[in-house]
Structure 1
Amino acid sequence: MTANAAEGLKRARRGVGVAGRGPAAPAPRGPNGGRTTLGRSWPTLSAFALPSLILLILLNLFPVIYAFLQSLQNGTPSTLPWEADFVGLQNYVTVLTSPQFWQAAEFTLIFTIVGVFGSWVVGLGLALLLRTKIPANTTFKVLLLLPWIVPIVVSSTAWNWLVATPQSPLPIIFSWFGMDNVNFLGDPLLAQILVCIFKVWISFPFMMMMMSSALASVDTNVYEAAKVDGAGSWHTFTGITLPMISRTTYISWILMTIFCVNDFPTIFLLTQGGPVNATTTLIVLAYQYAFQNLQTGIGTAIAFIMTAVLVVISVVLYQQIKKVNIE
């Protein structure tokens, strides 16, 4: 293809003719030269859409405003906003100066990092494996989706059965190697490791699906060209595969970060935040304050702090998505 032809194609995609930009398309007019029927009826269409719009705003905005008012007050879940004592930002000060909050924040960070990157590595590896010709490929894909499909209550019950007592299967297996009386749910470090592994196990199918769709959109001609140029498998992976799927990768990181930070059932059903608060995350701590200690103000304050952090992380990752430029 000549340079003139290539330039012509580019100009055609932009809607530019050979001699410059073509004439603008005339505005839609009615049969008498006036506005179209759609243009005349927009007030009617807006009136029909307004009730639904108001309902959506109320359903989404009212709970946020109500919760924020609760974070500024000292009340219980049953206390109405005008009945509670207004304390201003005292709940936020109490939260930020609490050692229990920072302990929960530290484990939330660990839990999120392991959950995001652990599930991404496993999911990407399986997505690459599924692109190859392996026996019973379809059956293998369905089986890999089971941790994501099975309800979390069933999964947590199964894992609890595997590790809960010394007579459970996993402690018995460890005893074969000389490690007797391994208490996965009683030892703080082992409980943290178990919760993180459980999160990766139930999350990698989501990452696998995201990465599989991203890999399917990569043109195979790019790999053929790299192979002709003598690029090895590692250079092809780091120089072609990862950059080409970077947009989907950043999106999956954003979503999984939100899933991990807001993941209440995974931890509560398995360890309930124990032992000695070792596996308590911020969302579990907010629940404990709001519904166990009946300190709604502190619980909602923790929730709003979590929301602010998630917004910052999402904005940072979204900026990375905007910087990605794949030609």
Structure 2
Amino acid sequence: MTSLAMPSILLMALINAYPLGFAFAQSLHNGGLLRFGRFIGLQNYINVLTDPAFWQAASFTLLFTVCGVFGSWLVGFGLAILLKPQFPGRNLFKVLLLLPWIVPIVVTSMSWNWLVATPRSLLPQLAETLGMGQVLFLADPTMAIVTVCLFKIWISYPFMMMMGAAALESIDNSVYEAATLDGAIARQQIRYIVLPMTARSTYISWILMTMFSVNDFATIYLMTGGGPVNATTSLIVLAYRSVFQDFLPGYGVAISFLMTIVLVALSLLLFRQVRKANI
């Protein structure tokens, strides 16, 4: 099997080798978009690691990723458990719950902006009617962070639901029947049967959602553009601004390579958990 896959692996390596090599070389220079500039070694990486804006973006990226991974997993896996028993209309419910994942992100972000973007939007008016005052969902830094994280959970939980549903289908019903005969209640079955037997799928979904969240440019840019006052600026948005707005490609590419290193390390850690789950 390895020999059959080797031509495809070599082709993918060749296709990606040049842009990766060019990008790394660019991160070692201080040029612009059209010229390489002077070689400065690791100075771009030093500048990135000593820049407060980088650490602010890294903090938000960590929060955004944790909410995106575990928030969407809790919602998605919970719905997968609720939808496992057969009942009338189950398939219709599954299709409706998949809509946030199916609908293009541009349409979904426009819908959420219609709900929260201005003081005259639906949710701010509702909050004011309930006596909560004027709630600025996207103008206040804290509320903007909360809104963006909730939006990420909203568009990501269908993926976790599908992964969870597929993992639950692999558990034989006889296991539940035996646990019921032994007196295990639903909460105990989830803790001692469902979670251990779906651990492999769970870790894989966490790895994938971590990559999706860290590299999620569209969600943040369409909702807030990284504002207000850079409160929702993630590392990918900061890298984009550095390259295409500040015309500092070396600095922006350095941010991207640092992100890649962290993602690879985290993925290896989670893959170790996947291997343990297979034992």
Instruction: Output the CA distance in 2 between the equivalents of 1:136 and 1:222.
Output: 26
* Secondary structure, counterpart of 1:78 in structure 2: coil
Q: Which has the higher contact order (CA 8 A, sep 6+)?
A: 2
Match of residue 122, structure 1, among 65, 70, 75:
75
Instruction: Output the CA distance in 1 between the equivalents of 2:274 and 2:9.
Output: 30
Gaps of 5+ in 2: none
* Secondary structure, counterpart of 1:324 in structure 2: helix
Q: Which amino acid aligns with 1:235?
A: Q
How many Å apart are 1:325 and its aligned residue?
4.1
- Residue pair 2:76, 2:158 contacting (<8 A) in 1 also: yes
How many Å apart are 1:135 and its aligned residue?
3.4
Instruction: Output the CA distance in 2 between the equivalents of 1:316 and 1:156.
Output: 33
Instruction: Output the CA distance in 2 between the equivalents of 1:210 and 1:166.
Output: 38
Match for residue 136 of structure 1? 89
Gaps of 5+ in 1: 1-41
Match for residue 85 of structure 1? 38
Match for residue 150 of structure 1? 103
Aligned residues: CA RMSD: 1.7
* Secondary structure, counterpart of 2:178 in structure 1: helix
Instruction: Output the CA distance in 1 between the equivalents of 2:275 and 2:10.
Output: 32
Q: Which amino acid aligns with 2:15?
A: L
- Residue pair 2:216, 2:236 contacting (<8 A) in 1 also: yes
CA deviations on 1:201-246 (whole Å, 9 max, x unpaired) are 0000000000000000001111111111111111111000000000
Instruction: Output the CA distance in 2 between the equivalents of 1:89 and 1:229.
Output: 62
Instruction: Output the CA distance in 2 between the equivalents of 1:236 and 1:57.
Output: 45
Q: Does 1:307 align with 2:260?
A: yes
* Secondary structure, counterpart of 1:73 in structure 2: coil
Q: Does 1:74 align with 2:27?
A: no
CA deviations on 1:234-261 (whole Å, 9 max, x unpaired) are 1111000000000000000000000000
Instruction: Output the CA distance in 1 between the equivalents of 2:95 and 2:278.
Output: 34
How many Å apart are 1:138 and its aligned residue?
1.3
Match of residue 251, structure 1, among 196, 201, 204:
204
Instruction: Output the CA distance in 2 between the equivalents of 1:261 and 1:130.
Output: 29
Q: How does 1:1-327 map to 2 (within 5 A)?
A: 55-79=11-35, 81=36, 84-325=37-278
Instruction: Output the CA distance in 1 between the equivalents of 2:256 and 2:15.
Output: 18
Residue-pair matches, total: 277
- Residue pair 2:200, 2:278 contacting (<8 A) in 1 also: no
How many Å apart are 1:55 and its aligned residue?
4.6
Q: Comparing 54-63 with 70-79, which one deviates more in the overlay?
A: 54-63
How many Å apart are 1:58 and its aligned residue?
2.7
Q: Which amino acid aligns with 2:162?
A: M
Q: Identity of counterpart residues, as a percentage?
A: 58
- Looking at secondary structure, tell me which structure has more helix per residue: 2
Instruction: Output the CA distance in 2 between the equivalents of 1:131 and 1:238.
Output: 16
Instruction: Output the CA distance in 2 between the equivalents of 1:159 and 1:105.
Output: 25
* Secondary structure, counterpart of 1:131 in structure 2: coil
Runs of 4+ in 1 over 4 A off after TM superposition: 52-55
Instruction: Output the CA distance in 2 between the equivalents of 1:169 and 1:135.
Output: 33
The 3 A distance-change label for structure 1 pair 54 and 315 is closer
- Decide which structure has the larger Cα Rg and report it: 1
Instruction: Output the CA distance in 1 between the equivalents of 2:111 and 2:12.
Output: 39
- Residue pair 2:27, 2:249 contacting (<8 A) in 1 also: yes
How many Å apart are 1:56 and its aligned residue?
3.1
